[in-house]
Structure 1
Amino acid sequence: MHKVAIALLLSATAVQAQNVNAYSDVTILPGHMTASGQYLAGVQITMAQGWKTYWRQPGEGGLPPVFDWSGSSNVTSATVEWPVPEVFDTYGLRSLGYHDSVVFPILFDMSDPQADARLRLSLDYGLCSDICIPAHAEASALLPAGQVHNAEELARARRDTTRQASGLVADCAVVPAADAWRLDATVRADHPLERDLVAVFETADPNLWIGTPDAVEQGDGLLFSAPMEWFGDGAFALSREDMRITLISSGRSAVELTGC
């Protein structure tokens, strides 16, 4: 592996990136202010042929991307809008992520929206082909106040993100299963549900692991059953109101709901 230094010039905006692997490039895409008063930018990961990277919940393999903006100036917070992932089934293991290229839209709150901002990104992420490796990249970009860049590309990336569900309800239960636990979630809708939906369960507790669920039809809904493991000390309690459920369709669209 070797270090690659890339300097890009986007109009009047300088973007610099350093990547410590030969299989991907990471670039910040400057954007523009939104009607809500936040600045929209993007982070693009471009991968060599045959390589993939991962979603926020990578599934049964891989590492999720971790965005660190702490070195930035005139930035108070950053929110990632996650593109809908592909579902990869490899050797009986399911993972969620992206191949070739992906743009993550990022919304920034600024201390002074009328002033320039300097973004400095430290990104840890996973890459996988025949082998899987942890990767790291650093990138920076100047965001000039009042300018517009990459509007069409960022708008397209936002259209491909997960949407909040409407007309869906979920009921969850934790049940004993052999020497472990199982999460059963019944999802119902006010419209027909696709029978090949892939469900992903996420909890804020880092010590609670929820595996890949199986799905069966149950009345007017779908029952998803997933193995659970607790890696903390003592007993655990599932915070059902904080459970995030994402349903991914075969057509690469996705909706999510919180609470069950």
Structure 2
Amino acid sequence: MKFSILMAAGIPLVSPLMAAGVKSGHADAELLNGSASYQAGKTLTFGIRLTVEPGWHSYWINPGEGGMPLKAKWTLPEGWTAGELQQPVPKRFMTGELPGFGYEGKAVFLVDLTPPAIASGEALCKVKLSWLTCDESACVPGDVELSVKLSAGDAAAGKDAVTIAAASKKIPRPAEGVVLQVEPEGDTLTLTLNAPEGLDLEGTKAFPATPQVIDAADPIQFVRTKTAWTAKVKKNEYAEGAPTLLDIVLAGGKLEKPLVISWQAKK
């Protein structure tokens, strides 16, 4: 498949009062404000809603073979900090002959911003976003800048608080009491999940969040054994040597909420 890359022009700056997103390429982005004001030292959760045109898709933290995940670069007042971009559970798709993970339609990403304990006055928070959208014949990048102004106050709920709360339920959270083991053998990896009693993975979908460990074209299907859940998958062709890190996202089935299970090789 042959891709054409078209550069997006301009970096628009928007007010948080604007209802519509800012368009670039084949998607538009909107900054969601969960708080009407900020309180010194108290973390605020913001959302970034990316809406992709029909027939196109954007990419997850692990884009698969090709693609580029949404990236966010914040410019904040002195002393403010931004957490990592929290990404919802993706979909699996094919772009031509390339397997990938990402989003169609609307996806809401979350980020925590924390002002310092001595913060005061008006705070201007800006973020530069970049992404890639693809269809069956082309890939087009998007590039925008969004901003929000916040006054010091009691950090009461903002106009998008309900949307952000709903989006939070789609963000994978660390699984308590679940241990992942990874055993390489030639071109395959055996994944073993030792889970607490009552955690039923029947019907769940699993996605490799760590790029270039598992072949993106090989679905992860966990099967129950007497003592654990296991899956055998193909090793990614671009992986060099044995894996050292792997995050697996589980969603759907009988799970109440999406989970992420992390593994790190012993040193």
TM-score of the pair, normalised by structure 2: 0.75
Residues 50-81 of structure 1 deviation map (CA, whole Å, 9 limit, x = unaligned): 22212111223421111111x32242233322
Counterpart mapping for 1:177-196 below 5 A: 177=187, 182-189=188-195, 190-191=197-198, 192-196=200-204
Following the alignment from structure 2 to structure 1, what is the Cα–Cα distance between the partners of residues 21 and 205? 37
Number of residue pairs the alignment of both structures matches = 242
Following the alignment from structure 1 to structure 2, what is the Cα–Cα distance between the partners of residues 108 and 90? 34
Structure 1 SS opposite 2:168: helix
Structure 1 residue 38 displacement after superposition: 0.6
Structure 2 SS opposite 1:210: coil
* Contact 1:53–1:125 under 8 Å retained in 2: yes
Which segments of 5 or more consecutive residues in structure 1 lack a partner in the other structure?
A: none
Aligned residue number for residue 94 of structure 1:
99
Which of residues 121, 139, 153 in structure 2 aligns to 1:132?
139
Aligned residue number for residue 198 of structure 1:
206
Q: Does 2:124 match 1:121?
A: no
Structure 1 residue 107 displacement after superposition: 0.2
Aligned residue number for residue 215 of structure 2:
211
* Contact 1:55–1:97 under 8 Å retained in 2: yes
Counterpart mapping for 1:44-63 below 5 A: 44-63=49-68
Which of residues 224, 227, 237 in structure 1 aligns to 2:235?
227
Aligned residue number for residue 67 of structure 1:
72
Residues 186-225 of structure 1 deviation map (CA, whole Å, 9 limit, x = unaligned): 223233322453231517xxxx543234436362412132
Structure 2 SS opposite 1:157: helix
Match for 2:152: what amino acid?
A: A
Q: Does 2:263 match 1:259?
A: yes
Following the alignment from structure 2 to structure 1, what is the Cα–Cα distance between the partners of residues 39 and 173? 18
Structure 1 residue 8 displacement after superposition: 4.7
* Contact 1:199–1:224 under 8 Å retained in 2: no
Closer/same/farther in 2, CA of residues 136 and 255 from structure 1, 3 Å limit: same
Following the alignment from structure 2 to structure 1, what is the Cα–Cα distance between the partners of residues 47 and 193? 33
Instruction: Answer 1 or 2: which has greater strand percent.
Output: 1
Closer/same/farther in 2, CA of residues 109 and 19 from structure 1, 3 Å limit: same
Counterpart mapping for 1:67-86 below 5 A: 67-69=72-74, 71-74=75-78, 75-86=80-91
Give the superposed CA RMSD: 3.3
Match for 1:85: what amino acid?
A: P
Structure 1 residue 117 displacement after superposition: 2.3
Structure 2 SS opposite 1:154: helix
Structure 1 SS opposite 2:93: strand
More displaced stretch, 166-175 vs 32-41: 32-41
Task: State, as a whole percentage, how many aligned pairs show the same letter.
Answer: 23
More displaced stretch, 246-255 vs 186-195: 246-255
Closer/same/farther in 2, CA of residues 219 and 93 from structure 1, 3 Å limit: farther
Closer/same/farther in 2, CA of residues 34 and 84 from structure 1, 3 Å limit: farther
More displaced stretch, 216-225 vs 53-62: 216-225
Closer/same/farther in 2, CA of residues 225 and 209 from structure 1, 3 Å limit: closer
